[in-house]
Amino acid sequence: MHLIGLDVGTSSTKALVVDDRGNPVGRASGEYPVSTPRPNWAEQDPDWWWNAARTAIAGALKCSGVDPVDIAAVGLSGQMHGTVLVDRTLRSVRPAIIWMDGRSAAQCEEIRGRVGVERLAELTCNPVMPGFMAASLLWILENEPRSLRRARRALLPKDYVRLRLTGDAATDVSDASSTLLFDVRRRRWSEALISTLGLSRDLFPEAYESPAVTGEVSGEAAAETGLRRGTPVVAGAGDSEAGAVGCGVTGPGVISSNIGTGGQLFAALDRVEVDRRLRVHTFCHAVPGRWHLQGAVLSAGLSLRWFAENLGHLERLVGCLSGADPYDLLSQEAARAEPGCGGLVFLPYLSGERSPHMDPDARGVFFGLRLGHTRAHLVRAVMEGVVYALRDCLEVFRELGVRVDRVVARGGGAKSRVWLQIQADMYNAEVATVEAQEDAALGAAVLAAVGAGVYRGVEEACGEMVRFTEGVAPDPERARIYDRYYREVYRHLYPSLRPFFTKHGN
């Protein structure tokens, strides 16, 4: 018996075929761009996702050699917050507005004014930010009313792929939590909030718990993907929640630290906890009956990519000539600089920042640069700055009483030994990784296994399908260095610079 996990990401869609013990037997992916037709806009054609998904599924099946009859179920994961409008023919009305879009700042203010910050916190447990579905739908309502009149459903990105797979419009409670239109405490759409914003409740599909079966692969989709017609498709989860499942973060005491394009710190909860200052998010977990806190850093791995593309010409050249990964070479250079970089500190706010500042005007900064600093210090400062930003989120978690017994590293930050050690030292906690290369796709497959009845629950499935590697322990001296720089320098920089960010935000 085998499962498929499909992860609809920002730059590619990955398909992973695993057996019922989580062992990968086939994988494939399809890539696509992000369209920026105007400054501060970020869009994708939903059919890019579907074309990549059908290519990836077919490729993963071929790679695995598994008979499609042996696929027990398909699970879905995907980039969160995005807005896809489909008409009565189930095709997209306009390009999807995705999570990194910033056009709806005025609509965010409008939502705060109409609903009130306290009421929003009570209903959604989250701050209002551009790129979230509520703000994007208001922007469409005010700027493209014809598009909204044509729309039959408003879907999240992975749910458009579900629609093409099964013909059914549905979502799950974790992804719906990220729309700012969902009652997170009660795990259902907020009809009061939807009505207040002048939207129709009929736009929004039923929200299921993540392991629930929402439909079956249609004959048309079977012909396009190679899957068996009638294969169950489960609700799945947003990529943060699916990734947490894929690295075993299902209950209190264990948090995940993800350094991908963006970064997330994730802590599972048995009950709803909300930061009154709304510095972090509270969403439904993919584990039924649980929630989670999430701190979101917008430019995590993106900060190192910026450095590589603009200041890493040597590594890129060597990589082209030798086949070496330029990011491995940058990591090796960072290892030559001492922890703390002799006082050089980097603020990774290249795209504004979400947690804990919720400030789209925040900007990146190198602070403390001296003649004695080298290029190695600059690289390491960028890597440390990303983890300082995640440490900001961890401090909020601790204020809310979150216990941290163990940290599981995810994303590109889990592949660099230097970044792993920085995380262990910065959090002053052991940091483990998982064997799976694609944790969100594996998490989707875990949810599929539960939906197919292979396991009775998500935690049981994780116990059988998720395997950890040896952890990295913190070094006490480095932990003291980072704690001092964090408390004496890093956490004071943003408040000091904020007036200048606001004044010169553009």
pLDDT digits (tens, 9 = 90+) for 18-30: 999 999 999 999 9
Up-side HSE of residue 34: CA atoms within 13 Å toward CB?
Answer: 16
Both tokens of 14, joined, read 């990955």
Please give the Cα distance from 53 to 398 (Å, whole number). 39
- Least confident stretch, 42-51, 122-131, 171-180: 122-131
The CATH code for residues 2-241 is: 3.30.420.40
- CB–CB of 25/66 below 8 Å? yes
Residue 162 tokens read as: 């579900």
Respond yes or no: is residue 239 known to be catalytic.
Answer: yes
Q: Residue 202: is it exposed, middle or buried by C-beta count within 10 angstroms (0-12/13-18/19+)? A: exposed
DSSP assignment string, 3-16: EEEEEE-SSEEEEE
Task: Exactly one of 7, 159, 175, 239 is catalytic; name it.
Answer: 239
Only one residue has tokens 């590619």, namely: 12
As a whole number, mean pLDDT of residues 318-339 equals 90
Arithmetic mean of pLDDT, 341-353: 95
Q: Average pLDDT, stretch 319-339?
A: 91
The class level of CATH for 249-431+475-506 reads alpha beta
Neighbours of 230 (CB within 10 A): 10
Identify the DSSP state of 20: T
For the chain, give percent helix, strand, coil, nearest 5.
45, 20, 35
Q: How do residues 423-443 score in pLDDT, each as one tens digit?
A: 999 999 999 999 988 999 999
Q: Is residue 505 pLDDT above 60, yes or no? A: no
Helix pair 326-334, 375-399: axis angle to 10 deg: 90
Return the SS3 of 73. strand
Res 317 pLDDT > 90: no
> What's the predicted TM-score (pTM) here?
0.93
Beta strands in 237-310 (DSSP E): 237-238, 253-259, 263-269, 281-284, 291-297
pLDDT at 323 (0 to 100): 82
Phi-psi map region of 284: left, alpha, beta (phi>0 left; psi -120 to 50 alpha)? beta
Q: Which residue has the higher pLDDT, 316 or 485?
A: 485
- pLDDT (tens digit, 9 = 90+) per residue, 71-106? 999 999 999 999 999 999 989 999 999 998 989 999
Read off the amino acid at residue 119. R
Q: Where are the domains of the chain?
A: 2-241, 249-431+475-506
| Residues 398 and 255 sit within 8 Å (Cβ to Cβ) | no
Report the chain's mean pLDDT, rounded to a whole number. 95
| Spatial contact of 447 and 242, defined as CB atoms under 8 Å apart | yes
Query: Cα–chain-centroid distance for residue 484?
Result: 30
pLDDT at residue 318 above 90?
A: no
> Do 293 and 284 meet the contact criterion of CB atoms below 8 Å apart?
no
pLDDT beyond 60 at 308? yes
Q: What are residue 85's phi and psi, to 5 degrees?
A: -100, 130
